[in-house]
Amino acid sequence: MAVVSAALAITAQLESIITPDLEILGNCHGLPELPATSIVLLRNPAQQSAVTETLAGQIVEGFRL
């Protein structure tokens, strides 16, 4: 995201990861409304372990921020 921070590009990101040095752009900047999206985390039920379940939990929690 260095090019975005340097004001050389724009990006579509989750609002939860936008840092204070970035500005959220929208309709007032002439940009269209972005569609709703969803993210799916798939796990192999035949290969579950405490490590993969913990990692999956951390990933899910990261997207809730």
| Tens-digit pLDDT profile for residues 18-56 | 889 899 999 999 999 889 888 889 999 999 999 999 999
Q: Which of 33, 41, 43 is nearest to 64 (CA)?
A: 41
Task: Quickly count: other Cβ atoms within 10 Å of residue 4's Cβ.
Answer: 16
Task: Give the tokens for residue 38.
Answer: 């969803």
**What pLDDT was estimated at residue 65?**
60
Its pTM stands at 0.57
Give residue 37's pLDDT.
Answer: 83
